[in-house]
Amino acid sequence: MQAHAIATPSSAAASQPCINILLVSPRTPDTFWSFSHVMRLVGRKTAFPPLGLMTIAAMLPREWNLKLIDLNVESLSDDHIRWADAVFVSAMIVQEPSVREVIARSNALGKTVVAGGPLFTTGAERFPEVACVVVGEAEDIMPTLVADLAAGRLQPRYEAPERPDIRKTPIPRWDLIEVNHYLTMSVQFSRGCPFDCEFCDITAVYGRVPRVKTPARIVEELDAVLATGWKGAIFVVDDNFIGNRARTKELLSAMIAWREARGATCNFTTEASINLVDDAELLDLMVRAGFKNVFIGIESPQEESLKECRKVQNTRRDLVASVRAIHAAGMQVMAGFIVGFDSDKLGIFELQKRFIQEAGVSTAMVGMLTALPGTRLFTRLTVEGRMLGRSSGNNLDAVMNFVPKLDPEALTDGYRKLVGDLYAPRTYYERVLVFLRDYRPNGPRTVTRADDVRAFMRSLWVLGVVEPGRWEFWKFMARTAVFHRNAFAEAVEAAIRGYHFRKVAATL
């Protein structure tokens, strides 16, 4: 393999050159989770910080000069690129258009690009123009990569030999960003998931044995977030927070003690599997620790589709009752749904809508089934000769990348109508009211801050005066004020989120 040399300042010691590293987080397009349409209401620039790049930055020598540019927050100038000796980029599949632009600009200015993240882990061969790709998790690779970079012998590919011990992962470099640009902060407790859903690439990338950090390390990371002055929401970015329930309970006990010791007022959101509802102790600990929202992959109310994709944890249970039980415990369920399974018939769209409305899942991310690289679904469809192309990674993409069993046109039309119906003002507000009926606020009280008041006032103007659906908005607010005053903050947050979902649904 050919090594790539980089220029280093001649004044630096040969054993430890001072290298300028530009870390670039690509732009995220308008998606379900971008929340781009509500940023002007909440006074932020983007939803989530680039936690992966901030963690990579913490693995680089402190003597090196680092700059982090998040393209969701600010523009990338040629001067930024010229300053750098190497440009580090990390990307998800959905960010491919933006990352290709960053790579092209960096190459044009003669800069070495080091690229990693899910996009490159599952598709490194599609980027021959990149000087160096990192495949897999970076912790065990970085010491060698750093030494090679400093010595000017960077290799074209570094691949993780095995899955690393994330207890040794350093605390992210929070000093590289301005936290007030973001809607929520992020920490990571675990990687991996014990389940093996056919369409999911998590087990391919991170494995089926969840690896966890110690409670003490998470407390350190939470302290680091609070040290920035942050007082708002924190997203625990695990793909399945309860993948190792015993270790999760230990962490939650530590988080409860941490809240009391620090007087912390932040709340938490995470992702988990539906079997959360089977463990009353776990559910109670999450609520007491300050978890207010949990994303759960419901996928389908149809048992045949769940069995088809091996979503075994969702089978043989009353899914509506499970969602309501979590609401009653004091957490809101945000859920993912999929249409386009081989088992689906044309009635699936009405079944999905009925389930979502009945369960009161206000934040319902509905997507068409897509075959991601590395998944068993991708392998099966390739063998069956049904693959058409690569996935865009956008959960609102109305174009399938394989030949479905349902008529493609009927599937696309049914999907678009379903999403449009779900986020029409009346349907949406009715669904939020179902949630509020079942919801019992428990755990730490939500603290109202000046930013929350400003967001509320802006929402009254935008949703109650400017936008279509304003009459439905005022009816919703009135019913909330009369019947659900103890969950008024949750209702306002849901109304603001719904505005974003309505806007992205209109683009389908």
What does the pLDDT read at residue 239? 94
Does 104 reside within a domain?
yes
Does 57 reside within a domain?
yes
Say how far apart CA 303 and CA 313 lie, in whole Å: 11
Amino acid, single-letter form, for residue 367: G
Where a domain ends, among 128, 159, 190?
159
Let me know the angle formed at the C-alpha of 23 by 157 and 75, rounded to the nearest 5 degrees.
130
Where a domain ends, among 143, 159, 175?
159
CATH number assigned to the domain comprising residue 99:
3.40.50.280
What does the pLDDT read at residue 1? 38
Phi-psi region of 500 (alpha: psi -120 to 50; beta: other; left: phi over 0): alpha
Does 440 reside within a domain?
no
What does the pLDDT read at residue 254? 98
Tell me phi and psi for residue 448, to 5 degrees: -85, 125
**This prediction's pTM:** 0.94
Amino acid, single-letter form, for residue 266: C
Does 128 reside within a domain?
yes
Say how far apart CA 154 and CA 131 lie, in whole Å: 8
What does the pLDDT read at residue 382? 97
Say how far apart CA 121 and CA 393 lie, in whole Å: 14
Q: How far is CA 483 from CA 240, 428, 431, 434, in A?
A: 34, 18, 15, 12
**Quick check: 4 and 156 in contact, CB under 8 A?**
yes
C-alpha torsion 197→198→203→204, nearest 10 = -170
* Total domains present in the chain: 2
Does 439 reside within a domain?
no
Contacts of 442 (CB under 8 A, 6+ apart): 287, 288, 329, 330
Does 230 reside within a domain?
no
pLDDT < 50 stretches in the chain? 1-2, 5, 7-15
- 92-108, pLDDT tens digit by residue? 999 999 999 999 999 99
What does the pLDDT read at residue 456? 96
Where a domain ends, among 136, 159, 182?
159
Does 124 reside within a domain?
yes
What does the pLDDT read at residue 329? 98
Does 141 reside within a domain?
yes
What does the pLDDT read at residue 398? 85
What residues make up the domain containing 499? 450-505
